[in-house]
Each structure stands twice: as C-alpha cells, then as structure tokens.
Amino acid sequence: MTEFCVTAFYKFVRFDDPAALQDALYDELSALGVKGTVLLASEGLNGTIAGPSSVMDKALAALRALPGCTDLESKNSPASDMPFLRLKVRLKNEIVTMGVPGTDPTCLVGTYINPENWNALIIDPDTILIDTRNDYEVDIGTFKGAVDPDIETFRQFPEWFENFRADLEQQGRTPKIAMFCTGGIRCEKSTSWAKSIGVEDVFHLKGGILKYLENVPQEDSLWQGECFVFDDRVSVGHGLKQGDYQLCHGCRYPISAQDRQSPKFEDSVSCPHCFDSLSDKKRAALRERQKQVRLARLRGEAHLGDDVDLRPRKQRHV
C-alpha cells in the first residue's frame, strides 16, 4: 500500500520574474507524480503538495532549487490516500492575500518563537494571543485564551487589528502581541505589517500550528480542538494525525461528527450550517453531482466535482 506524504511550505523571497519559474517547476513536480497547489508571486511561494513518500525529497529539492529558496522549510504529515486530484502551479499577486501594498517580511518581521517556547509566551499575563485565521478555521480549534478576530478573510485582518490596537491604547495597555496561523505564513505577514505601523513587541509562532502539533507532546499542549487544513483530510490533530472533520459539499464548511448526526445533514448535500439556505434546485444539483461522483469512482476515474475550492463558498471571490 502506497504511503503518501503531505508537505506544506512557504517562503517570502523576492522573485524578479515568477512567471519564468512556473512551467519548469510544474514539469519537475508532475514528473514525480506530485499533486497539490503551488502559488508563485513576486513576494515568494506558498503551497501544499502531496505524493508518494519516496518522491517527496526530490519534490522539495525542486522547490529549494528556486532562486533564494535553499533554506525553504516544510511541514510534513502522513496521509493514507492522495488528498489532491491534480497539480496546479499558479501565479498570484500575493502568496497570501492581505491587501496591504509594501508589506515585506524579508525586510521587517516580528520575533519568531519556536513551538517548544510558545507555551511560555502565551501563558504570560502580559501577552495577548491573536488567531489570524478565518472564522471557519477558528471554529474547529484554536489555542486556549486566543482572541478570535471573527474575520471571513485575511484581507479583513488589518482593519480589525487597527481597531483592536486603538482599544488597547485607550485602556493604556501596551502588551506583547503573539500571533499564529496554520503554517506560519499569515502570522509572518501580519507581524511584518504590525511592525511597520509601530507595534514593537510582536511575536509569531514559527512553523505555525502544524509545527506546534508536530513537535509539542499532547500532554503539554495548549491547543484545543483540531486544525483545519486545505486538502481532503480537512483537519489534523496532535501528531498531525488526520482529524474527524469532513467538508459539507453544500457550503464547504467543516462539519464535525456531531454535525453529521443532525437531521439537517445529508451526505454531500447539506449540513446544519447551510440547510436552511439551500434551494430545492441547489439540493437537486448536489444530489446529481454526488451520483456522478459515485459512478466515476466505480469506473476507477476521478470526477471533476471532487476537485473543489476548500474555502467556504462565501470566500471564493476573495
């Protein structure tokens, strides 16, 4: 039985011509049988890919051969099945979209904190801990005591933080600010921006939640719940073991085992989050789609309906 490895990575690095890197990188990864998504932009690269464990060292070598990427770090986790249908290497304006021009973590960034030292920072009463992820990610798991900005997209984070900072200043408070996200990319960019607007004591979790769940023993962990991941596993827990969540095909929201016991849950059609908003026409279309997916699997084929954007539908336009 083939063992698969899922590798998440990112690096802020200056690419003068990211388009010139696209085709060759696609060809190298494709030849290895790797699937997933790689984003390229002038500010660097970001992605999650998967393949047989035996080829992933070569895949990482191809990524590290990109200009300035020799020290590219990755987070690896196992998967029993291939979690992606195809390989995509895409060009983007930003590798993570915050929408604040000029933010450059290669020039200015908060203080990196290794997972082993994270607990000591966040239990300090003089530290405010902020989850920089989107609402549906926070819903299924976060660090104990973390502030939830309740945002639908990362674009909304700067405005939220400006208001949050103003409230702290009105209270006469200048605490240490600790930020975290799934793999480190969002909190690295947000701490860079925070430093640029004059926040001095700002820290972020190196390697993100994934590295924390990999390195910190469960008995010492301050993480509560599971961590949403952008592939077919949906969520992971301590030790990066696959979690219990699934995706609702009606709204793409992560749904728990308890959600799946609800009378509003219909496999591949609806869940408690979207049941009341789905039209009869939409339900019928989802049922037909699932029928075609099942038929394709019986033929041993991949169905295009399986290859979906893993963000909730309300976020697709961002």
Dist CA 46 CA 289 (whole Å): 31
Inter-residue contact 315 to 134 (CB < 8 Å): yes
CA-based torsion, 249, 137, 315, 85: positive or negative: negative
Closest CA to 82 of 32, 129, 116, 117: 32
The structure tokens 């699997």 sit at 297
Nearest to 209 by CA among 228, 195, 192, 193: 228
Tokens of 260: 């799946």
Separation of alpha carbons 255 and 140, rounded Å: 9
Q: Where are the beta strands (DSSP E) in the chain?
A: 4-12, 35-41, 44-52, 74-79, 87-91, 111-113, 127-131, 141-143, 176-180, 202-205, 223-225, 227-228, 235-236, 246-247, 254-255
Tell me if 22 sits within 8 A of 89, measured CB to CB: yes
- When computed from its CA atoms, the radius of gyration of the chain, rounded to whole angstroms, is 20
Listed in sequence order, the residues at least 6 apart from 257 whose beta carbon sits closer than 8 Å to its beta carbon are 244
Query: Which amino acid, residue 243?
Result: G
Q: Catalytic residue positions? A: 181
